[in-house]
Amino acid sequence: MEWARDAERDNSTGHESAEDVVATESGFSAVGHTHSRQPGVHHAWVLQFGAAPPPRWERAYGGKRALGTGVLGRAIASLQRGGLIIAGEEEVSVNRFRGWLLALSPEGDVLWERTPGHEGVNGFNAVSVLEDGSIVAGGDQDGEGWVVRMDPRGELLWSVKLPQLEHITALVALPAQRIAVMGTAEISTTGPGISRLVMLESDGWARWEKQLPAEGRGELDALTVLPDGGFVAAGRLGRPDSTDWSLWVIRVDPLGEILWEHVPEDPQVESGRAITAFPDGSVVVAGASWKNLLADQEAKVWRFSAEGSLLWQQSYGGDGYDAGEGIARLMDGTLVVVGSTSSKGAGKTDLWTFGLSPEGELLWEETFGSP
């Protein structure tokens, strides 16, 4: 089995990616993971930027154990007074995970670290900060949707299971400490599942829920709140009589009633993975479009008006496997996208970030990684 050992060694380093990004008062911060600092051991990786690269600072966190363990950063949000909160999962042994939260100072110093829940196939995929400074994180535990609320010092306030969901994909903070949660049920290995939007009160009680789509199958992976209190979500919608899917963007009112939805007339195999809103109610979606019979993919960004009209769409990347995983609108109105690329950079897969004008013009791009 010498070839298997060679393959394991070859893949134990050189892979980096970004999973999420948040705008800050002076720029943006991205979170992802790397296993090049200690080959075969995952570290969460946080980079803080001004309006563009190079980063002001970057640090790796976790990864204290043996091969096949470590931590993965999945989501990021800004804390009050300029810090950051990171959500993800800690792999304590092979295929054994638990939820992981990390609070950082504005300089990247650790304020506290928590691993709520228990070991299993568990973890967090989304995080947000409420008006009172408390933190909510969502993911899955024991095959059910899972939301926790922590106070600003990292003490657990409550933890709730949402059995109507198998996996939480996104959540956003709302006034009066309420939380809008997006998640997926009936997950399939051959196509999309079914999404539900769930409204939680400040104590974790589910006030109402809405199934999306009402008919058919589709998964919504990203969610943002609009100035009028409604929501726009993005993901993928299953095609009738096919295992393929199309981009799916949907706007709902504050009670979850559909106002409009967008599915391309000439569908490609593509999906939305992140979303951000402008003050006028227009939204920008980042994701990926597959090509060459799913052999590789390119990053793609779409902008929609408040009424659901497609304003522009643009692809980014190269000949390899590229994806946009997070998007944020900065204070000056420009956009920043983060993700991963194998088309450029030093490693097998590099963390990738690029800036865009509101019209989709590429302003800059940079990769970060190790050979």
Structural tokens at position 287: 């994701």
User: Which has more confidence, 59 or 39?
Assistant: 59
Dihedrals φ, ψ of 37, to 5°? -70, -40
On the question of pLDDT at 9 being above 80, the answer is no
202: helix, coil or strand?
coil
- Picking from 248, 243, 191, the residue whose alpha carbon sits closest to that of residue 220 is 248
Average pLDDT score over residue span 324-335: 97
What distances in angstroms separate CA 79 from CA 67, 213, 304, one per listed residue? 32, 33, 29
pLDDT above 90 for 267 = no
Q: Where are the beta strands (DSSP E) in 96-193?
A: 96-104, 110-114, 123-129, 135-141, 144-150, 156-162, 167-173, 179-185
**For position 145, what pLDDT does the model report?**
97
What are phi and psi for residue 332, nearest 5 degrees? Answer: -85, 5
Contact at 8 Å (CB) between 12 and 39?
Answer: yes
pLDDT digits (tens, 9 = 90+) for 149-175: 999 999 999 999 999 999 999 999 999
Q: Cβ(172)–Cβ(223) under 8 Å?
A: yes
- pLDDT reading at 36 higher than 70: yes
Structure tokens at 161: 């299971």
230-242 pLDDT, tens digit per residue, is 999 999 998 777 7
Q: What is the pTM of this model?
A: 0.95
